[in-house]
Structure 1
Amino acid sequence: MLGKWSSADGSFKRQRSVFQEPISSDHPVFKPAKGRYWLYVSLACPWAHRTLITRALKGLTSVIGVSVVHWHLDAQGWRFLTADEQTRQKAFKDGIFESQAGGIASAKLDKSSHLANVANDSARLFSDATFDPNQHAARLSELYYKADPDYNARFTVPVLWDTQTQTIVSNESAQIIRTLNSGVLDEFAGEEATKIDLVPSELESQIDEFNAWVYDNINNGVYKTGFAESAAVYENEVTNVFAHLNRVESILSEKYGKLKQKYHRLDEVLAHYYTVGEQLTEADVRLYTTIIRFDPVYVQHFKCNFTTIRDGYPHIHLWMQNLYWNNAAFRLTTDFDHIKLHYTRSHTRINPLGITPLGPIPDIKPLVD
């Protein structure tokens, strides 16, 4: 059962995450360990993207494995690809799962000019999706039913899975990234370990406050706009999205001005150019996954077309470019092919012909000094 997207008045209602357990030495079941936990993600989904970025930033790519579902979401939910044992052995031998994007390299292999020729049933292993090495599941739904045989809602990503007890730890992205940032798994990271703290105590209240209004009005706002099923609801939601983008632009504009007075070179400015404080925080991670999708899909597919980020919001645009081009954790986990294909081929009520626009070109502009 996938559940309804909209309520009776035509407005989008986001499903509440059912599984929300932490990993902790004090937890009766979910103790810290290397190789015990596994992430199931979609490269197209902004909520799942948060967890991939955090996993990479914290140096946990060798601690927590990743499987990637197919970009096409059909009536039965997310699916994996199957692979014979020889292919699986070669994949692990070649270290394919060491990459921060979970073994997916389609952004490098399949350029946007080819998107129109990719069918919804495309089965390119490690390009369209990976397989599930834990439960050998064909569908994400199988993991949900394994964790709860009576589960009756949508099968959402991300999923943090415990391979030891064979159940879901959490399917709430906000909680998962807090768990990954908490440090409970840092000791297992070895040489990949980093000292990054995305929620430093002195900034936590500011981060929480920023996240709260960004989530409701921008992260979820684009969905409330795109899935609106009445003109009145759509017009209200799209206006609200851009009002809050204006708010972010104002914050970053003021910050950029102060940094320019403090530092002389652009690279020095960009080293401190973040939404909360002068360091990379969870607030940047959570906002980025919406902004990076804005021009490629939200403008046309969700009708968020007052303007684009690149043309209408110079300070947000620079902030996004800085994260993408100057931080591999953001760049290597961003797959524009999965993003474009998923939205335009999966939402048949919005785009019944399933034609994937080739633009914008480029997906993201280069960062120019």
Structure 2
Amino acid sequence: MGKLVEGVWHDVWYDTKSSDGRFIREDAGFRDWIDNRPDAKFSPEAGRYHLYVSLACPWAHRTLIFRELKQLQDIIDVTIVCPDMLHDGWKFGIPEPLFGHTKLHQIYTQAKPDYSGRVTVPVLWDKKLQTIVSNESSEIIRMFNRAFNELTDNHVDYYPDALRNVIDEWNDYIYPNINNGVYRCGFATTQEAYEEAYESLFEALDKVDAHLAHNRYLAGSSITEADWRLFTTLIRFDSVYVGHFKCNKKRIADYPNLNGYLKELYQVPGVKETTDFYHIKRHYYFSHTSINPTQVVPVGPELDLKSPHGRDNF
């Protein structure tokens, strides 16, 4: 995991020394928006946008799920990076289709030659204006949720007006403690920082599990954005975070309500097709050599995701 400094690539890991061993995630550098306003810089058009993702990354996985659920496959095309992220950062197995670049950081400098910051996925590219619209996953999924409704037959709203407050409350709680919490455990470089993240992670998982004992989904009786944002962490938990990131107090399989909830979301039509456990395990165990210097990728665990989820009775 490297970064660009004024357009020049540097192979540098996160600086945890200046934060007492704590991992601090950098904010996204591109934060524009696609909408339907007449004067919008980025308007919804079929074939205009290209999505760069990793199948391993939970943040990118969110966007693939929304692209699938909102039936945007023929409207927004996609390029997938290799699972291995080493000294050159994210790379393409074959040159990507728009410019023939072989490294993701070249897409960033294509948009902004003097860009400084981490090079992350997802990236939403505008082929018309030749620039990056956004590399913030939480905002990309909201664009996918509503901006392209007039171009598809799918108007399911995963961020409905009536539930926005409760969705936002769950997002604000789950992001630091669970979504980013597993990284705060795995990338911590002091015992104190690790244990601090570990405690908040499992306190949050316990809270969500208790909530799901009486609620089918986070915001009530329908699936919302908050569920999909949590799902992409949960689906990686037992395969990667338990061992690789030392999040080993419990597996998701050990939580009676979270386990069934995870199965139900995985079994939503189209979601399984966005989930690639080879990429997931290969990326984390092979790329993070400071954590796993042998680069040996575990064969297991065996996951039971296709059996009845038992959530129908809510």
How far apart, in 2, do the equivalents of 1:162 and 1:74 lie? 27
Q: Aligned in 2, Cα 1:301/1:363: closer, same or farther, shift over 3 Å? A: farther
* Identity %, equivalent residues: 46
The alpha-carbon deviation at position 366 of structure 1 amounts to 2.6
1:161-193 alpha-carbon deviations (Å, 9 max, x no partner): 0011111000000110111112x212223xxx2
1:252-293 alpha-carbon deviations (Å, 9 max, x no partner): 0122xxxxxxxxxxxxxxxxx211120110011000000000
Look up the match of 1:89.
none
**1:308 and 2:251 are equivalent in the alignment:** yes
Q: Is the 8 A contact 1:6 1:229 kept in 2?
A: no
Q: Is the 8 A contact 1:296 1:363 kept in 2?
A: no
Q: Aligned in 2, Cα 1:167/1:363: closer, same or farther, shift over 3 Å? A: farther
**1:59 and 2:71 are equivalent in the alignment:** yes
Look up the match of 1:332.
273
What amino acid does structure 1 have at the position aligned with 2:221? E
Structure 1 or 2: more helix by fraction:
1
The alpha-carbon deviation at position 365 of structure 1 amounts to 5.6
Q: Is the 8 A contact 2:181 2:197 kept in 1?
A: yes
Q: Which has the higher contact order (CA 8 A, sep 6+)?
A: 1
The alpha-carbon deviation at position 363 of structure 1 amounts to 6.3
Look up the match of 2:229.
286
- SS at 1:329's partner residue? coil
Q: Aligned in 2, Cα 1:363/1:298: closer, same or farther, shift over 3 Å? A: farther
Q: Is the 8 A contact 2:16 2:188 kept in 1?
A: no
Q: Aligned in 2, Cα 1:15/1:294: closer, same or farther, shift over 3 Å? A: same
The alpha-carbon deviation at position 152 of structure 1 amounts to 2.2
Unaligned runs of 5+ in 1: 83-130, 256-272
Q: Is the 8 A contact 2:261 2:309 kept in 1?
A: no
Look up the match of 1:275.
218
Look up the match of 2:49.
37
- Pick one of 156, 162, 180 that aligns with 1:220: 180
Q: Aligned in 2, Cα 1:145/1:170: closer, same or farther, shift over 3 Å? A: same
The alpha-carbon deviation at position 239 of structure 1 amounts to 1.3
How far apart, in 2, do the equivalents of 1:81 and 1:334 lie? 19
Q: Is the 8 A contact 2:16 2:189 kept in 1?
A: no
Structure 1 range deviating more: 332-341 or 355-364: 355-364
Q: Aligned in 2, Cα 1:141/1:211: closer, same or farther, shift over 3 Å? A: same
Look up the match of 1:158.
122
Q: Is the 8 A contact 1:77 1:154 kept in 2?
A: no
- SS at 2:265's partner residue? helix
Q: Which 4+ residue blocks in structure 1 deviate beyond 6 angstroms?
A: none
Q: Is the 8 A contact 1:288 1:320 kept in 2?
A: yes
Matches within 5 A, 1:121-140: 131-140=95-104
How far apart, in 1, do the equivalents of 2:77 and 2:28 lie? 22
Look up the match of 2:14.
5
Unaligned runs of 5+ in 2: 4-11
**1:229 and 2:172 are equivalent in the alignment:** no
How far apart, in 2, do the equivalents of 1:25 and 1:204 lie? 20
- SS at 1:332's partner residue? helix
How far apart, in 1, do the equivalents of 2:305 and 2:297 lie? 17
The alpha-carbon deviation at position 354 of structure 1 amounts to 0.4
Q: CA RMSD in A?
A: 1.4
Q: Is the 8 A contact 2:167 2:226 kept in 1?
A: yes
What amino acid does structure 1 have at the position aligned with 2:186? G
How far apart, in 1, do the equivalents of 2:66 and 2:194 lie? 32
Q: Is the 8 A contact 1:6 1:227 kept in 2?
A: no
Look up the match of 1:253.
213
What amino acid does structure 1 have at the position aligned with 2:32? E
Relative to the length of structure 2, the TM-score reads: 0.92
Q: Is the 8 A contact 1:42 1:71 kept in 2?
A: yes
Q: Is the 8 A contact 2:264 2:309 kept in 1?
A: no
- SS at 1:254's partner residue? coil
What amino acid does structure 1 have at the position aligned with 2:177? N
Look up the match of 2:261.
319
Matches within 5 A, 1:153-192: 153-182=117-146, 184-189=147-152
- Pick one of 308, 311, 314 that aligns with 1:367: 308
Look up the match of 2:8.
none
The alpha-carbon deviation at position 362 of structure 1 amounts to 3.0
Q: Is the 8 A contact 1:224 1:234 kept in 2?
A: yes
- SS at 1:67's partner residue? strand
Q: Is the 8 A contact 1:38 1:65 kept in 2?
A: yes
How far apart, in 2, do the equivalents of 1:170 and 1:36 lie? 14
Structure 1 range deviating more: 353-362 or 342-351: 353-362
How far apart, in 2, do the equivalents of 1:355 and 1:45 lie? 19
Aligned pairs, how many?
Answer: 298
